Structure formats: structure tokens, C-alpha cells
């Protein structure tokens, strides 16, 4: 019997045997996991255009990506009800693209292939100099079958590179892409009218290259791919059209420079032709996604006169029953409405407001971009605000704010703030009647500094209207002061006078001095009651 606490001796040969068995088992499991992971890489994936973190005094969101081409920290301004210029809300475009950045598939659309479905020829089963040399020789041969085989092999390598983000780490991929004339040859294959399969494979390979770093997207554009891809939108082969749409979406999603280049190559007309009722759903979804990339960006924005012809088509697609299609249509409308009143009016005139009201009650995936579109429309003129009021949106916004997740609540809050800041006194009276004061006071406990500041501004506009109404009715009491106090707004504004942010505490002090100074004088000998809900939600 072995005493407790003593180790049992093991011979070196046995230890070595156990260790080798363990290593073999570990390698087997690792290889199995690798094969299972590669088996999951068979479907095309969407390219996710990247944005940089906006430089704002009070950042609303912190986007994940870093593409400097999509800095969207532009601010809009308008006059408050007292006539003095005041800054309206400043929205970061970063969270607009969280729908893309949060996708587990990565940051760009990557058309991937299951490398385990069809085995490569023996000579091409490993990476290295041999595969590069032989593949390039086949690519530049005059034999169509060899050209097709080489293009397929290259596409498979690129698919795997995109899937595992190994463009830089895999020498074979990097060497093929950097080899003189390879990209140009793939672009040349796009003109192979007698071989739709070669066109398809070449477009697929270019789609994956454009899904890589921006420098690779630049090389695809410089090789002359965009005009030929646009021509392929009129191909008689559905798979070729779909891959061409995909590639163009990747290129446009790289940033404003290539977005504008694709637009200036007259892509819109053939792209809209793909959105006719007879088109299959897969192509329609890809085309709408590509359109949304053409609409994106604010520094600079796309030329509105060149993209606005898509509005009538989007307004019809807004009645689709496909969830993914609705999501991209709503994002497209939110981008187009994120601009001056002229752009907003074009969106309203397309007749989308009634349908947007319905989609606000849809599942969160659709409701979120629909709310964004409504919020952008509410940054327009008071006439446009009235059109939104007539569509009965505000009662729904109040209901959504009270009964939704934090993400939706925040977006509904922004829409309410925008509506108040762009409203006339009569419109503000209506918004107060439907219950917006309670929601604005609740926004004061948010951890988001920008929405706290703009909620204070919205409450100030409401109080200015109350003062005007009191003078008109020859009364001393502002009717909205009581409503704000009942909604715990007074306690929260009082507490915000001690906020760390100078603009927030300055605005809180201004409101207290201009509208609640009498109450402050009466209670100057006792400390203010601090709302226990100020911890935020």
C-alpha cells in the first residue's frame, strides 16, 4: 500500500509513451476542429465598411473600426425658440454601422468557399513557391481550361485568407496578389463573354481581394475592374450578376473616395434595374446592400442628386416581408435623410413615413434603423416635423421608449429630442400633451453625455414656450415647470449643476436660474434632494 501524500514513481519509458499518446490525441482533435471550422466557411459574407472613432467633445458611441474615410462627426445647428443660435444634436455615424461591425463574419463582405468540398490538385495542396509559380503559369496560359482552373484555385486561397484574415500572414496569397499582371489578368477575365464560369470565378476572386485591406481594394480599382463589373450587372447569368453586385459593394464600402468613383461610373441605373419585381431575392438583397454603401458617409456625403433616384424604388421595397431586405432599406433611408432639409423633403416626398411608422413596431433588427431614419427626418424644418406629427409617430415613440430595450430606448429618445428642437411652440404643445416631458427627464440620467446635454436643451425649449404661453395668458406661472417637477426633472437638473462636464452643468445652471429661481430662493436653506435614480440605466 502506498502512503498518502507520496507520489507513485513512473518509469521514463511509460511517461514518454503517455506523452506521445497525449500529443497524438491533441493533434487529432486540433485537426478535427480545423476541418469543422473550414466547413463553416462556405457561404459568402458581407463586407463591412470601416469608420474611425469620431472626434467629438462628448462622444455618443465608440465604433470598433478605424477607417478614417468615414469620420462622421459633422454637427448641425438651428435656432432655438428664443431666436439665439444653438447647436442641435450631434450624432456620430459610428453606431449606424454597428449592424455591420458586430457581425461575427468580420468587417467586409467576403465571398468564401468551402475548401474541403472540392480537393485541390495534388500539386496545389500546399502553399509556397510551387503553388504560386504553377498557378501563375496556368493563369497566363492560352488554354481556357487552365485559366479557369488557376482562377478557381486562386479564389479558394483568397476565400480562406479572408475567412481567417491571413492576407499578410500567408506568403502564397500575398505573393499571388503582388505578382505582376495577376490582378489585371483577373480583370481581363471579366470580359470573357464566351465563358460565364470564368467571369464568375474572376469576379469572385476580385470580390475577396476587395474585401481585404484598403491597399488591395485600391489595386482592384486601379486595375480597371469597376467599369467592367458594372457591365456585368446586365449579364444574362444570375450568378455573375450577383457576384458583380457583391464586388461593387465591397469597393464602395471602402470609403468616400471609391464610393464616389463607383457612383460616377454610372452604377445606379443598372443597379436599380436589378431591383425590379422579377429579380430573384438573393440579387435584390445584395443590390440593396450595395446601395446602402453608396449612400453612406458624411465627410463628404455622396452627391444627393446622383443617389436620390433610388428613393422611389426604396419606398416600394419598404413593403417587403424579407427581414434582411427591410433592414438594408431602412439603413439606406436613414443615410439619405441624414442631411439638410432639402434631402429630408425628398425622403418624405417618396411616401415612406406611413410605412416607417409601422416598422417602428417591428422586431428590433428592423425597428432600430427605422428609428434612425425617423430621427433624422425630425432634424428638418418645422414643416417637415409637422408631416411626421401627422403620421402619428410621436405616440408610438413614447410607447417604444417606455417598453423597449436600452438600444431602442436610446434611439427613440434621440428622435424625441430632435422633434422638440425642430418644433414650433404649437408643435411643442402637442408633444407635451402626448407625454414627451417624462421621457426627456428620464434621458437626464443617461450615461451618454451628448444626449443628456441635448435633453437639457429640449427641456429649455419647452420652458421657453411655457413662458411665452404664460405671458400670452397673463399668468405668472409657467405651465410646464410643474410637469417637469412632477417627472423628477427638477431634482435631476439640480443635480446636474454639479456635473463634471462644463456644458452640462452650465446648461443646468441656466435652466435653474431662468425658470426655477423662485423655487430655489424658497429652498435655499436646505440641501437639494438628489434623485436616487441618477445612477443611470
User: What percent of the residues of the chain are helix, what percent strand, and what percent coil, each to the nearest 5?
Assistant: 65, 0, 35
Geometric angle at alpha carbon 396, from 393 and 401, rounded to 5°? 125
Which one, of 270, 343, 273, 330, lies nearest residue 301 by Cα?
Answer: 343
475 C-beta neighbours (distance < 10 Å), count: 10
Distance between CA atoms of residues 152 and 163, nearest Å? 16
pLDDT for 157 beyond 70: yes
Per-residue pLDDT, 353: 92
For residues 335 and 46, which has the higher predicted lDDT (pLDDT)? 335
Cα–Cα distance measured from residue 48 to residue 93, given in angstroms and rounded to the nearest whole number: 14
* pLDDT value, residue 521: 47
48-97 pLDDT, tens digit per residue, is 433 333 322 222 222 223 333 343 333 222 233 333 323 333 344 433 33
Could you read off the pLDDT of 196-224 as tens digits, one per residue? 999 999 999 999 888 888 888 999 999 99
CA distance 313 to 309: 8
pLDDT at 262: 97
**In the predicted structure, residue 357 carries a pLDDT above the cut 60:** yes
Question: Pick from 407, 501, 420, 431: which is nearest to 86 by CA?
Answer: 420
Q: How much is the pLDDT for 216?
A: 86
* pLDDT tens digits along 322-333: 999 999 999 999
CA distance 126 to 9: 45
Mean pLDDT of 368-373: 95
In this prediction, what percent of the chain has a pLDDT beyond 70?
69
Mean pLDDT value of segment 355-379: 94
Q: What is the pLDDT of residue 8?
A: 35
At 243-254, the pLDDT tens digits run 999 999 999 999
Report which listed range, 140-144, 297-301, 394-398, is most confident: 394-398
Are 334 and 96 in contact by the 8 Å Cβ rule? The answer is yes
Identify the pLDDT of residue 108.
Answer: 40
- Are 487 and 441 in contact by the 8 Å Cβ rule? The answer is yes
Task: Please report the pLDDT score of residue 519 as a whole number.
Answer: 52
Whether the full predicted model's pTM is greater than 0.85, yes or no, is: no
3-state SS class at 489: helix
Residue appearing with cell numbers 402637442: 430
The predicted model gives 283-297 an average pLDDT of 94
Mean pLDDT score across all residues of the chain: 76
- Relative orientation angle of helices 406-421 and 449-472, to the nearest 10 degrees: 40
112 has pLDDT over 80: no
* Total number of residues shown for the chain: 537
Q: Which residue in the block uniquely carries the three cell numbers 423662485?
A: 518
d(CA 387, CA 382) in angstroms, rounded, equals 9
Asked whether 366 and 323 are in contact (CB, 8 A), the reply is yes
Half-sphere exposure of residue 530, counting CA atoms within 13 Å on the CB side? 9
332 closest CA partner among 257, 272, 390: 272
As beta bridge partners, residue 98 has none
Confidence of residue 15 (pLDDT cuts 50, 70, 90): very low
Please report, rounded to a whole number, the percentage of residues in the chain having pLDDT higher than 90: 53
Upstream peptide bond of 325 is cis (omega within 30 degrees of 0): no
Map 503-522 to HEC letters.
HHHHHHHHHHHHHCHHHHHH
Residue 28, pLDDT > 80, answer no
Q: In whole angstroms, what is the distance from residue 74 CA to residue 298 CA? A: 7
pLDDT(274) > 50: yes
Whole-number pLDDT of residue 20:
56
Mention every residue, 6+ apart, whose C-beta is less than 8 A from residue 466. Answer: 478, 479, 480, 481, 515
C-alpha distances (whole Å) from 332 to each of 296, 512, 533 are 8, 41, 37
pLDDT at 7 (0 to 100):
37
Is the pLDDT assigned to residue 526 strictly greater than 90? no
Q: What is the pLDDT of residues 449-493, one digit of tens each?
A: 999 999 999 999 999 999 888 888 878 788 899 999 999 999 999
pLDDT tens digits for 168-189?
555 556 666 777 788 899 999 9
Which residues touch 508 (CB under 8 Å, ≥6 apart)?
456, 493, 494, 496, 497, 499
Residue for cell digits 469572385? 204
Amino acid at each position: 500500500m502506498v502512503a498518502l501524500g507520496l507520489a507513485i514513481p513512473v518509469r521514463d519509458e511509460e511517461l514518454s509513451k503517455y506523452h506521445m499518446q497525449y500529443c497524438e490525441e491533441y493533434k487529432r482533435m486540433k485537426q478535427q476542429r480545423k476541418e469543422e471550422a473550414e466547413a463553416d466557411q462556405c457561404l459568402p459574407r458581407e463586407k463591412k465598411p470601416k469608420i474611425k472613432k469620431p472626434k467629438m467633445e462628448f462622444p455618443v458611441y465608440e465604433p470598433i473600426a478605424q477607417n478614417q474615410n468615414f469620420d462622421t462627426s459633422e454637427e448641425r445647428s438651428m435656432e432655438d425658440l428664443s431666436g439665439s443660435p444653438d447647436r442641435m444634436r450631434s450624432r456620430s455615424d459610428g453606431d449606424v454601422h454597428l449592424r455591420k461591425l458586430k457581425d461575427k463574419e468580420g468587417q467586409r463582405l467576403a465571398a468564401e468557399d468551402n475548401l474541403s468540398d472540392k480537393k485541390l490538385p495534388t500539386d496545389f495542396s500546399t502553399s509556397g513557391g510551387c503553388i504560386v509559380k504553377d498557378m501563375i503559369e496556368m493563369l497566363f496560359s492560352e488554354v481556357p481550361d487552365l485559366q479557369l482552373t488557376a482562377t478557381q484555385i486562386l479564389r479558394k486561397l483568397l476565400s480562406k485568407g479572408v475567412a481567417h484574415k491571413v492576407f499578410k500572414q500567408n506568403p502564397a496569397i500575398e505573393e499571388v496578389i503582388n505578382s505582376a499582371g495577376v490582378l489585371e489578368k483577373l480583370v481581363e477575365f471579366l470580359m470573357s463573354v464566351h465563358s460565364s464560369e470564368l467571369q464568375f470565378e474572376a469576379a469572385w476572386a476580385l470580390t475577396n481581394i476587395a474585401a481585404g485591406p484598403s491597399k488591395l481594394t485600391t489595386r482592384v480599382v486601379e486595375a480597371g475592374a469597376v467599369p467592367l463589373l458594372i457591365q456585368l450587372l446586365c449579364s444574362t447569368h444570375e450568378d455573375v450578376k450577383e457576384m458583380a453586385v457583391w464586388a461593387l459593394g465591397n469597393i464602395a464600402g471602402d470609403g468616400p473616395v471609391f464610393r464616389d468613383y463607383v457612383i460616377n461610373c454610372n452604377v445606379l441605373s443598372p443597379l436599380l434595374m436589378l431591383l425590379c419585381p422579377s429579380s430573384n431575392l438573393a440579387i435584390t438583397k445584395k443590390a440593396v446592400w450595395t446601395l446602402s454603401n453608396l449612400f453612406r458617409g458624411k465627410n463628404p456625403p455622396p452627391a444627393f442628386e446622383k443617389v436620390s433616384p433610388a428613393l422611389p424604388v426604396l419606398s416600394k421595397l419598404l413593403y417587403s416581408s424579407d427581414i434582411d431586405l427591410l433592414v438594408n432599406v431602412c439603413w439606406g433611408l436613414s443615410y439619405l435623410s441624414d442631411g439638410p432639409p432639402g434631402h429630408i423633403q425628398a425622403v418624405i416626398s417618396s411616401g415612406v413615413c406611413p410605412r416607417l411608422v409601422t416598422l417602428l413596431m417591428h422586431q428590433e433588427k428592423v425597428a432600430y434603423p427605422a428609428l434612425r431614419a425617423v430621427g433624422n427626418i425630425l432634424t428638418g424644418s418645422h414643416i417637415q416635423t409637422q408631416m411626421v406629427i401627422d403620421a402619428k409617430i410621436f405616440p408610438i415613440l413614447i410607447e417604444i421608449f417606455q417598453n423597449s430595450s436600452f438600444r431602442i430606448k436610446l434611439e427613440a429618445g434621440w428622435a424625441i429630442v430632435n422633434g422638440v428642437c425642430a418644433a414650433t411652440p404649437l408643435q411643442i404643445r402637442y408633444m407635451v400633451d402626448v407625454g414627451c416631458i417624462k421621457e426627456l427627464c428620464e434621458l437626464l440620467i443617461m450615461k451618454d453625455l451628448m444626449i443628456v446635454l441635448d435633453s437639457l436643451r429640449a427641456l429649455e425649449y419647452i420652458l421657453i414656450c411655457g413662458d411665452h404661453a404664460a405671458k400670452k395668458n397673463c399668468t405668472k406661472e409657467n405651465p410646464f415647470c410643474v410637469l417637469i417637477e412632477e417627472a423628477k426633472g427638477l431634482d435631476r437638473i439640480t443635480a446636474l449643476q454639479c456635473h463634471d462636464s462644463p456644458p452640462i452643468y452650465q446648461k443646468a445652471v441656466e435652466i435653474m436660474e431662468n425658470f426655477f429661481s423662485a423655487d430655489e430662493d424658497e429652498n435655499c436653506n436646505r440641501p437639494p434632494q438628489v434623485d436616487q435614480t441618477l445612477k443611470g440605466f
